[in-house]
Structure 1
Amino acid sequence: MIKHFCAYRGCNNLVDAGSRYCASHSEYGTKKEQERQRRYDHSVRLTRDAEYHGFYLLSEWDRMKLFIRGKYRGLCLWSYYQEQSIAELEEVHHIEPLRIAWEKRLTIGNLIPLTHEFHMMVEAEYKKGNMPAMQRELWRLLDRWEREFGGRGG
């Protein structure tokens, strides 16, 4: 396993790749991340993206997430089809983002269940300019699920 130094200034402990802080400084890392999220909430979610952020707080969205969980049996479709593994969904992704297709915010064919890891990977591809190709792949996964499970109580 690849290792690197703990991100805490002056710490010489080694941590596994993918981790930032050693056990001694993990609490520091957690507090730093909470502060980063608080600043992001203030500067982006609650100001620039207030309309979009507000949508995610509505009971309509909660009901839709529950419906998606049931429809896809709690699975992350990326894990299931692309990784051939079983992973529980953690997030529901809008294939066409709210900012682009507000009218599709509750459209089942625009929503796909993903783990947090794969949701972040999809978002990174969108930011790199690969949104159309990634969207085609996500819709392909939804279509495959419908062909395989759609008519059997899925």
Structure 2
Amino acid sequence: MIYATNGAKCYIGGVIADPGADVTETTFASQSWTEIKEVESLGTFGDSASEITFESLNQNRTKRLKGTRNAGAMDLICGLDYADAGQLALIAAEKTIHDYAFRIVFNDAPAGGTPSERMFIAKVASASEALDAANAVLKLNASLWINSNIVRVAAAAA
């Protein structure tokens, strides 16, 4: 079954230390979440491997191996809301060197159940205002440098 992205929500938590290993759902259990409102686009995220190559002389062939994993940078686009606590937290996080907890909640809950979620640790690399053309909404664009694996929590029935 497929689902629309509309209804998805993005949350920022507090400062969180990199545990030095893959994070799990329990890593985020003590977080207090603040919704980042007026989100227009969540961008993309997910692991990809760095390429390691080796030129084999006797096979006359380049061998490819998987290197370190990179969960990418997630680019949020929001309608700028000066009073939104989530956007203010995002802007404040950009001014620090720390990693923060993030949570995405999808709009895919079964009747009476709970929706699927994604959680990760990231640095807020940028928080810039975009003032486009006439007849456009002021935007807050933020880039999140993901520094952990993405924890996937499946939707659950009631």
More relative contact order, 1 or 2 (CA 8 Å, 6+ apart): 2
What band does the TM-score fall into relative to the shorter chain?
under 0.3
Please state which structure has a larger fraction of its residues in strand. Answer: 2
TM-score under structure 2 normalisation? Answer: 0.26
TM-score under structure 1 normalisation? Answer: 0.26
